[in-house]
Structure 1
């Protein structure tokens, strides 16, 4: 079956009543004030990279539940002629030997022992230096203003903030920074973060140098030492963001690009490659059999990612090329039974849950950008007087001595956050992402198929009910999914749990910008979040 062209719909197929936003210059993000910070850069004559960075900076303030200055970042940029992939994830401290965690059953999930070097600031610097048009300091102005003068907390973020109140109140620096009245701010309350304003001003004035080898680095590491943590100024100074390119897999006329490991984007590519060996093209978007094939392909892909993906320097047994080999993926596809769900194990390819934003401009530049603290508020550690909340990416390491993802010094952990980018035969098609931990690769697969096989516009694809593989035969489904579909999946042996669409990060938050054949773009923004797509 040929892929139908994407059609901009005026009728609404799914519960959201939003329409796709059409414009020549666009930003789509999970918080309105952040999206407008990016749009302001476009209005000043900046490009999509300037808009993306300004939006990302703003999100550290207005959506602290998902990211902060102490986050990691990945990005894919279409510069008008080629794709560029950036890995700005941080490495572990030099003192993180496996012996340091002896006696633990798993890596610590919160606190200082989960904190790796933050990479987000290095991403802002690297992207601005290579592609930006506006002065770096200009990108910080909207956020500094909101931090100093306050902003009104939006509803979804307020709900997530309140959940962290009891969990993180006793973590170093958290109450001072994020519970100013002894509680989380409510929706519509004004929140100030003047320490973060000072931090952002310092980063802006020094092109990020203060964060990695100046006063801010010293404050971060002094606080680490005070709490017996391993992070040092040498660890901070040694950090570098890497221009890593992309890995890809084709499906019909389109090609999905992802960042190479240490991220889980390869799982989306594997699942897409597996599905290319099935009859999914002949099914309708909401056919239970289409869901079944996607779920089974995703289970196969995730099992392999869990077993083999790590810092690429430590993937000695199995490489990304091995996992994406078409013969291997065909053999994985052959395991799918159209009549029943299965609990798959990892394969043998060498045998013989964040914030996401996207921006595009009239010149043709498109940016797919993801930034995350991992868990809500990350480690829960906030450096006093700075507003810097630190990620808990160290929790992504394994303590299994046979795992390529075994914790070790100066090593990148397995990462869940992934930006996605679709190319077509005539150039770029879509910059997109779906934040939300293990939902991300699964969300990428669902967005690609809905827009490219079934011709849904970005907002319709975002609105559609989602599913998520859990464990064994388990799948979580949004309770907006039709009962007949759920009954059909249960009849195939899927063990279904129902969740509301607004279940924290459960089904993710998608943002999509799709290029239109005649010029300009169509964008969609997830109604499960506070955000919007906005443009001119």
Structure 2
């Protein structure tokens, strides 16, 4: 692995290079990361530069006010390290307060679902521990694009226009969302594909984050602006929440799947779901990808993993179930024994879609980063801090207002989190970073991409190009329009309720970089489902 066979109608070939590689969903951001590599930065510097640039060139999916996670492989460390930069609920919020206001469930937009943003802290923490170049140098490409502008790429323009139509219908004229319209809908409309867009506010904010190593965002002038806006519009996020926040270095979790260790961030992230599904199937032999029995097993394993994941995953400080138990051989065997030849009905409800950006970087020294950041649902909460360009996420929308639920809302608690970076190792060597962005599609995408490479021998690009399925709820499954018709028919005969989707936007957008440990040669793949690009040299 990888080979260079292309069994599917690929939109592009795998990218092969030696000195460095950046794979992400937007070409300008990939080039920004590559520029930093060429200036002497390492894979971590490139990841930060790419991530910062994505807040400018793909604001439909992420922003400065979002959350982030990273898995880092530093050659000298010889192991996978994890960073959790997701923030907790504000200290002043509670289930009782929301129910007094008439909320039966968490709102999706506005200030209420806003939790403490972690993105700036992730950049600063990664730079401080592993970066080679100053943060002020690493953020320059993002600052330049924010100030000078850039033309919208096709998929970006599509989702920007869609978001504007929704926001215009729901929020136009409401003071809480006025800044969003000013920044992201200048002249009363969304910018068109190929049209230039810029934001001086973004540029100034990124400069301040760079100069203060993100201190301003949590304990300085930017924090004051965030707290003031929250107070003005009745939000719960306060200065104390920002001041007390720190990202957390964590021990990644893994399962061994047929000789490869697959790594994920531990809860509160949902990477555990992907590992549980792989653990259920690790003793099965899969010879052909386009086999109804193989797809059926994948679907049933994922449904079982999600059922338990939604039941148990939350902030690890309050989580009652041990990760080790959910990933044990015994538990995997028990779950596998429940799978029959027919589709079964699981417990959880409908899984919403989300907006996220994922990137993978590698340098010529063997350092590699798997990084993901998100505002959650598209533009997130729709709240933009006046004069800053900071769009805030709506991650708190996943909290339950049932006090008995494992993921119930509590002050200072982190919610179940959908965004997950993945990493693969074999023995003591790094294979490489991989990820598939997109709400609850992410663990499903992780499973499919990992199995495509390990079980079916596909190279990174082909592993991403392969048609995908997505469990929605109950027995409902969506498949892409490129999914083979004979599989659709055979899966329907097993009781799956199949819908063919003609828009691939909900099936995730992934990136993969694989490193040959003997030669150091890098092989990268990127998505045809987005404006994806692999930049390398």
> Is the contact made by 2:30 and 2:50 (CA closer than 8 Å) also made in structure 1?
yes
Aligned to 1:76: 71
Aligned to 1:311: 315
Inter-partner Cα distance in structure 2 for 1:448 and 1:501: 23
Inter-partner Cα distance in structure 2 for 1:127 and 1:145: 22
> Is the contact made by 1:287 and 1:485 (CA closer than 8 Å) also made in structure 2?
yes
**SS of residue in 1 equivalent to 2:254:** strand
Cα deviation 1:19-40 (Å, max 9, x = unaligned): 1101121000000000000000
> Is the contact made by 2:480 and 2:504 (CA closer than 8 Å) also made in structure 1?
no
Aligned to 2:194: 188
**SS of residue in 2 equivalent to 1:114:** coil
Q: Give 1:333 deviation, angstroms.
A: 0.6
Q: Give 1:230 deviation, angstroms.
A: 1.1
> Is the contact made by 2:481 and 2:501 (CA closer than 8 Å) also made in structure 1?
yes
Q: Give 1:345 deviation, angstroms.
A: 3.9
User: 4+ residue stretches of structure 1 with deviation over 6 A?
Assistant: none
Superposition TM-score, scaled by structure 2 size: 0.95
> Is the contact made by 1:177 and 1:384 (CA closer than 8 Å) also made in structure 2?
no
Establish whether residue 63 from structure 1 lines up as the match of residue 58 from structure 2.
yes
Aligned to 1:498: 500
Aligned to 2:174: none
Aligned to 1:163: 162
Aligned to 2:529: 528
Deviates more, 1:107-116 or 1:283-292: 283-292
Aligned to 2:83: 86
Aligned to 1:7: 3
**SS of residue in 1 equivalent to 2:514:** strand
Cα deviation 1:45-104 (Å, max 9, x = unaligned): 110000000000000000000000001000000011121100000111001111122132
**SS of residue in 1 equivalent to 2:474:** coil
Establish whether residue 138 from structure 1 lines up as the match of residue 133 from structure 2.
no
Q: Give 1:17 deviation, angstroms.
A: 3.2
> Is the contact made by 2:436 and 2:510 (CA closer than 8 Å) also made in structure 1?
yes
Aligned to 2:374: 372
Q: Give 1:263 deviation, angstroms.
A: 0.7
Aligned to 1:116: 115
Aligned to 1:288: 292
Q: Give 1:106 deviation, angstroms.
A: 1.2
Q: Give 1:500 deviation, angstroms.
A: 2.4
> Is the contact made by 1:360 and 1:367 (CA closer than 8 Å) also made in structure 2?
yes
> Is the contact made by 1:168 and 1:174 (CA closer than 8 Å) also made in structure 2?
no
Establish whether residue 21 from structure 1 lines up as the match of residue 15 from structure 2.
yes
Counterpart of 2:433 (choices 431, 434, 441) is: 431
Q: Give 1:452 deviation, angstroms.
A: 1.0
Cα deviation 1:479-532 (Å, max 9, x = unaligned): 1011111111111111011112533xx101000001124321100000000021
Aligned to 1:239: 245
**SS of residue in 2 equivalent to 1:188:** coil
Q: Gaps spanning 5+ residues in structure 1: where?
A: 347-352
Aligned to 1:327: 330
Q: Gaps spanning 5+ residues in structure 2: where?
A: 172-176, 349-353
Aligned to 2:276: 270
> Is the contact made by 1:283 and 1:289 (CA closer than 8 Å) also made in structure 2?
no
Report the aligned-residue RMSD.
1.1
**SS of residue in 2 equivalent to 1:115:** coil
> Is the contact made by 1:58 and 1:143 (CA closer than 8 Å) also made in structure 2?
yes
Deviates more, 1:395-404 or 1:307-316: 395-404
Aligned to 1:147: 146
Q: How does 1:447-466 map to 2 (within 5 A)?
A: 447-466=449-468
> Is the contact made by 1:179 and 1:185 (CA closer than 8 Å) also made in structure 2?
yes
**SS of residue in 2 equivalent to 1:314:** coil
Counterpart of 1:216 (choices 222, 226, 235) is: 222
Superposition TM-score, scaled by structure 1 size: 0.95
Q: Give 1:181 deviation, angstroms.
A: 1.5
Cα deviation 1:153-198 (Å, max 9, x = unaligned): 1110111011111322432411011000211111000001111000
Cα deviation 1:106-160 (Å, max 9, x = unaligned): 1111110011110000000000000000111001111111111110011101110
Cα deviation 1:335-357 (Å, max 9, x = unaligned): 011x21111348xxxxxx30000
Q: Give 1:430 deviation, angstroms.
A: 2.1
